[in-house]
Amino acid sequence: MATKLTKLNWNPEEKFSLKDSSDYKVIMKPNGVSASDLLSMALIGCSSHDVVGILEKQKQDLVALNVSAESVQDDDPPWRFRKIHIHFQVVGRGIDPEKVRKAIQISEEKYCSVYVTLKDAVEITHDFEVVEP
């Protein structure tokens, strides 16, 4: 079983800075990203990495992938996430929509650790569009 160590440091200048297991720094609010946004960012980052890799293996002529996540949270503390909807915009020449659908499904069912961790706690939906460059 893999073990990863992430870190947080607070100081008066940067406030909250995070470091991932590779020592890459991310600054949180008030000078950076909100902690709750990191959740949906992790989800679309994980899934997108998988989708790109799968589409490349399927020899799809991928030019760009644009992904957004719209989250619904409770209005009151602790602001629980209720729903996250992911929209994939796949840009490429002659992209097969069925291969895109399958790539997203494989990511969700087999590879994306963030999706698998969240799916029983938050309703996660997605859609996609294929765009010619």
User: How many other β-carbons are positioned within 10 Å of the β-carbon of residue 19?
Assistant: 14
Per residue of the chain (133 residues), give pLDDT as tens: 999 999 999 999 889 999 999 999 999 999 899 999 999 999 999 999 999 999 999 999 999 999 999 999 999 999 999 999 999 999 999 999 999 999 999 999 999 999 999 999 999 999 999 999 9
Spatial distance between the Cα atoms of 31 and 121, rounded to a whole number of angstroms: 29
Ordered by where they begin, the domains of the chain are: 1-33 (no CATH), 35-131 (3.30.300.20)
